[in-house]
Amino acid sequence: MWNPWQLFYRTALGCMILEIFIHNVAQGLNVCMSGSAMSCEECLLIHPSCAWCAQEEFGRARTLTSRCDLRQNLQKRGCEAHHMESPSSSTTVVKSEPLSSKGSGPTQYDVIQIMPQKISLSLRPGDQTSFKVQVRQVEDYPVDLYYLMDLSLSMKDDLDTIRNLGTKLADEMRKLTSNFRLGFGSFVDKNMSPFSYTAPKYQDNPCNGYKLFPSCVPSFGFRHLLSLTDKVDRFNEEVQKQMVSRNRDAPEGGFDAILQAAVCKERIGWRKEAFHLLVFATDDVPHLALDGKLGGLVQPHDGECHMNEKNEYSGSTKMDYPSLALLGEKLAENNIYLIFAVTKRLYVIYKNFTALIPGTTVEILDQDSKNIIQLIVNAYNDGQPLPGLRKCADLKIGDTVSFNVSVDARGCPTPGTQQSFTIKPVGFKDRLEVSVDYRCDCGCTNQTQANSTHCSSIGQYTCGICRCDSGYLGARCECQEGEAGSMYLTACREAEGKQICGGRGECSCNQCLCYESEFGKIYGTFCECDDFSCARHKGILCSVKYEMVITKCVCVCVCVCVCVCVCVCVKERASES
């Protein structure tokens, strides 16, 4: 059975542990002090709330003072504000021209559709900064539209439907812009096995022996037929010349064609000062990267333009199909907005592609492509997607959209490093240029004193601490390594076999420097004492509740390594104090 004193000590210990637990949960551990930062730069990396005190005289004597702490804690401990190093992230607008309201006309080269145009960020690791970007697709902005069509046999009805597409499409687009140009290209698939018919009897006519359609042209990868032009009659003429072909498997080589249409800028005729639309019309799934290995094509696509003098893709039988990542990169790089115009059964597949290729959208194409004009107009009007898979829908030409962008650095690069990135709407030439520098250095390092008297003239004094020359140690570089031999550590042990400085400090020059604690003060020759480990009652340190059988006592208790009480007692009946 427990006696009253045993019960008291067990209860007090339990209460103290519970109190510490509740304190840590409610307020969180001091991450700055727990990081054991040995320099100002290390302190800044621990957490954005941490600050470093570079003040010369700071902390208690014979205490391993942490100069890295929360700013408010450093102030309470006597650090003056001008001695604190605690940089924060910031944003500076360098260039911000107002958004334009109209696109075409004599000043179209100066049209501005994104604001601001240039900003500078200073980033402290972990400290987030934000800025606003405004985008407006101006009215009457020049438009370049390149129509890329699948000419495999299953698209014969669609080819017949679009033979007069140029005139009708131009009439509709001129309601949106007075500066419209149209181009045309086609694709089938790689002219090699197993993607196409390669037997001798199929070389000139892959439809040979096919009763439903006995005659067609040889298969080809991609063929550029008409550079972008405002002469829409030429589009109609070029379409009317075309004939379908036949490939062997169901998937088509359309992604080869998309990439060439994107990167062969001079051949296609993309204008820098125009909105770039690429319409991709097909009724089947595409081949993807690695499919080329079926035909022995092990070389990945290099993302470059490979057009011969006949305006045909010369790398069709030399390189694999491009990956989705490569397509997305080249479309964004060349400001091209891609519209997948596909039949209803393929909608879900291509919808998934749009999630992986930023700056794309998908529309359902009628079996005979009768709705192609309305499809293009709808896609143009429906607000343009931005990189990051975020989209603003139900917007009209001329509307202004605002985006809040947040940026933070995860760490510090090599000192002096400056980086930059761009933000831009897909299909626009306009972009926001963002330059970045990092706030990883402390200003106090500019006042470093070599061979400082603070450091016994054998070390650098910087940011309030000494960096001793090789072979020296101590808070002021006052000791030399190995000078005390085995006595160096023995003097810091209370008894043989015990921990150095009781495990609550470090031995420096034959004396203990005690750690600082967020719970109170640690002190003593061997850091054996503190002012927070004594028992508590009702939250009061070293407050004792017990029963006296004969007397009533009034006690005054203090915590000096252990709880010490002085009591004045009066003889009375048993009671509680």
The per-residue pLDDT for 544 is 54
Measured in degrees and rounded to the nearest 5, phi and psi for residue 534 equal: -70, 160
Q: How confident is the model at residue 572 (pLDDT cuts 50, 70, 90)?
A: low
State whether 193 and 239 are in the same domain: yes
CB atoms within 10 A of CB 360: 24
Tokens 């892959």, residue?
Answer: 206
Say which CATH number the domain at 387 has.
3.40.50.410
Does residue 188 sit in the same domain as residue 201? yes
Cross-sheet strand order for the sheet of 114-115: 114-115, 129-136, 400-407
pLDDT band per the 50, 70, 90 thresholds, residue 472: confident
Q: How many domains does the chain have?
A: 2
Q: What is the pLDDT of residue 7?
A: 46
183 shares a domain with 149: yes
Measured distance CA(561)–CA(564) in Å, rounded: 9
At 391 the three-state DSSP class reads coil
CB neighbour list of residue 251: distance below 8 Å, 6 or more residues apart: 189, 284, 285, 286, 287, 291
Q: Give 105-147 pLDDT, tens digit per residue.
A: 555 557 888 999 999 999 999 999 999 999 988 888 889 999 9
Say if residue 253 is in the same domain as residue 216: yes
Segment 517-529 shows an average pLDDT of 80
Q: Is 348 part of a structural domain of the chain?
A: yes
Instruction: Mark which of 393, 426, 451 sits at the end of a domain.
Output: 393
Rg value, the chain, Cα: 38
pLDDT tens string 445-458 = 999 999 999 898 99
- 274 and 314 share a domain? yes
Written as one letter, the residue type at 252 is: E
User: Is the predicted pLDDT of residue 535 greater than 60, yes or no?
Assistant: yes
**3-class secondary structure per residue, 528-565:** CEECCCCCEECCEECCCCCEECCEEEEEEEEEECEEEE
CB neighbourhood size of 239 (10 A): 21
The mean predicted confidence, pLDDT, of the chain is: 82
Calpha distance 225→310 (Å, rounded): 9
Give the pLDDT of residue 108: 55
Same domain, 432 and 363: no
Q: Both 202 and 220 in a single domain?
A: yes
Q: Would you state the structure tokens that stand for residue 375, as one six-digit string? A: 């499809």
- Which H or E run includes 50? strand 50-53
Question: What is residue 318's predicted lDDT score, i.e. its pLDDT?
Answer: 94
SS (H, E, C) 196-219: CCCCHHHCCCCCCCCCCCCCCECC
Mean pLDDT, rounded, for 368-380: 78
Q: What is the per-residue pLDDT across 27-76, written as a single tens digit (0 to 9) for each?
A: 446 788 765 678 899 899 989 999 999 998 887 655 666 788 999 999 98
One domain for residues 311 and 432:
no
Q: What local confidence, expressed as pLDDT, does residue 132 receive? A: 95
408 and 333 within one domain: no
Model pLDDT, residue 280: 94
pLDDT tens track for 234-282 = 998 998 899 898 888 889 999 999 999 999 999 999 998 888 999 999 9
Give residue 27's pLDDT.
44
Considering the domain architecture, whether residues 218 and 353 belong to the same structural domain is answered as: yes
The predicted structure's pLDDT at residue 61: 57
User: In this structure, are 231 and 359 located in the same domain?
Assistant: yes
pLDDT of residue 229: 94
Residue 158 domain-assigned (yes or no): yes
The CATH number assigned to the domain holding 95 equals 2.60.40.1510
Residue 159 has pLDDT above 90, yes or no: no
User: Of 321-335, 433-447, 496-510, 525-539, which range is least confident?
Assistant: 525-539
Could you tell me if residue 531 is inside a domain?
no
- Tell which of 356, 376, 393 closes a domain: 393
* Position 566 in a domain: no
268 and 414 co-located in one domain:
no
Strand 63-64 to strand 511-515: parallel, antiparallel, or no bridges (unpaired)?
Answer: parallel
Residues of the domain holding 128? 90-102+110-138+401-438
**Measuring CA to CA, how many Å separate 106 from each of 13, 102, 560?**
84, 11, 87
- With respect to residue 278, please indicate whether it lies within any of the assigned structural domains: yes
Residue with tokens 């051949």: 267
Is the predicted pLDDT of residue 166 greater than 90, yes or no?
Answer: no
Q: Is residue 538 part of a domain?
A: no
193 domain residue, yes or no: yes
412 and 403 Cβ atoms separated by less than 8 Å: no
pLDDT at 3 over 60: no
Q: Determine the 3-state secondary structure of 51 from DSSP.
A: strand
Name the residue with higher pLDDT: 248 or 225.
Answer: 225
Phi-psi region of 485 (alpha: psi -120 to 50; beta: other; left: phi over 0): left
pLDDT at 574 over 50: no
Residue ending a domain, among 339, 370, 393, is: 393
Q: Kindly state the average pLDDT of the residues 99-109.
A: 65
**405-417 mean pLDDT:** 87
Q: List, for residues 10-23, the tens digit of each pLDDT value.
A: 444 444 444 443 34
Q: What pLDDT digit, counting tens, does each position of 548-559 carry? A: 444 566 666 666
- Reduce the DSSP state of residue 74 to 3 states and report it: helix
In this predicted structure, what is the pLDDT of residue 436? 94
Most confident of 315-324, 377-386, 499-508: 315-324
- Residue 283 is assigned to a structural domain of this protein: yes
Q: Which residues lie closer than 8 Å to 258 by C-beta, 6 or more apart?
A: 148, 278, 280, 322, 327, 331, 338
Q: How many residues does the chain have?
A: 577
- In the prediction, which pLDDT does 560 show? 61
